[in-house]
Amino acid sequence: MDPTETGAAAAADDPQVRFVDRHDEVAAALQTVAADVVGVDVERADADRYFRRAALVQVGVDGRCLLLDGVTLDTMPDLDVFLDAGRVAVLHAIENDLEPLAAKGVVADRVADTAVAAALLGLPTGLGGLLEAVLGVRLTADKEAYQRADWAERPLSPGMSAYAAGDVVHLPALWNDLAARLDATGRRHWYEQELEATIQRAIEPSRDWTKVKGSGRLSPQQRAMLRSVWEERERLAREHDIAPNRLLHDDVMRSIALEPPRTAPQLVRRSQRRRNLLRRYAQELFDAVERGAAAEPEARETSGHRWTDADRSVYDELRRARAEVADALGIDAGVLCPSKPLWRAVAGDPEDATQLCEMVELRPWQAEVLAEPLWAAYVQARADHD
């Protein structure tokens, strides 16, 4: 199946695709897609791995796309130089691609993220829906199948090559349109702040044992057990480049914390899948169980605030005020401000709007539109319960 169906230019429908797997060909090949704005995308083959690896890096403009082979090209210094030459690299959902690109030695000076821009404009954030809404481009109906494909497979099938190119050749035109809309709506500074925050989240370590689902409901001693096993699983996963959940699933870890096994074989039997893999590391994980049993209890994370019915009413009013502003702006309320941080304002008893915004950790653009409505809602809700 053709990867695109569109009324746009024929060149975009049927791009010229070149596969490059030799270091000495990369620099010259990149000149065929040299432009001020280029699309960049990464297809990964890391579902079972700890480290995120780029199996394929696509670089494209309208009508032309390079597929740089991440399997044979261990580093891509020529692409790094190419993207440092003042041009803008346009990606979609940049947080997924920065790490695998950096592993290839590629760090772009100037980047744009069409997903961030779309969210701030109230447009679909999925690439398929966004392309159709903005450019009238319809990507292949087999997108989900290709997302599950083995991108380390060689040679690439014609369908995989077409899909990879179809994702990236439209990004420059898409960004140009979204950038114009950001300027027209006065939201360019919103975008710049959100892009910076998105990049920062992508480069900061985010793995933490407290993010295991259900960890907050465990007792302090059970939390100590979970932490010990999680840290050992993390060490083994990094050392052997295994996806942590492939080695020992979070659900199994939680069951271990609730009811610790008495032997390494018992630990293996807790898992319903990949027991052969788990068996290799069972003793080390069981040693972590024993360390967890002897560890100091891990207290639950808490604000120290005892929530009252009045507090919950204040929180509901803050959410209502946020929703009204989001509706007026035509964006998702969660994009404007996530719900959970609003609890900090309830617990913190702010003295004014500025302090409330600081407690919720709003970025400047968010405070610009939310400070007055949130403060008014807070004051009224507190007055109603005094």
pTM of the predicted structure, to 2 decimals: 0.88
Q: How far apart are CA 207 and CA 111, in angstroms?
A: 25
Helix, strand, coil content of the chain in percent (nearest 5): 55, 10, 30
CB 361 within 8 A of CB 341: yes
Q: Helix, strand, or coil here: 110? A: strand
Residue of 230, 219, 224 lying closest to 296 (CA atoms): 224
Q: How far apart are CA 67 and CA 183, in angstroms?
A: 32
Q: How far apart are CA 374 and CA 380, in angstroms?
A: 10
Tokens of 24: 């000495």
- Domains of the chain from N-terminus onward: 4-203 (3.30.420.10), 209-294 (1.10.150.80), 309-384 (1.10.150)
Per-residue pLDDT of the chain (386 residues; tens, 9 = 90+): 333 333 333 334 678 999 999 999 999 999 999 999 999 999 998 778 898 899 999 999 999 999 999 999 999 999 999 999 899 999 999 999 999 999 999 999 999 999 999 999 999 999 999 999 999 999 876 777 888 888 999 999 999 999 999 889 999 999 999 999 999 999 999 999 999 999 999 888 778 999 999 998 999 999 999 999 999 999 999 999 999 999 999 999 999 999 999 999 999 999 988 899 999 999 999 999 999 999 999 988 765 678 899 999 999 999 999 999 999 999 999 999 999 999 999 999 999 999 999 999 999 999 999 999 999 999 999 999 87
CB 206 within 8 A of CB 274: no
User: What's the pLDDT at 300?
Assistant: 81
Q: How far apart are CA 178 and CA 193, in angstroms?
A: 16
Q: Helix, strand, or coil here: 383? A: helix
- The DSSP symbol for 108 reads -
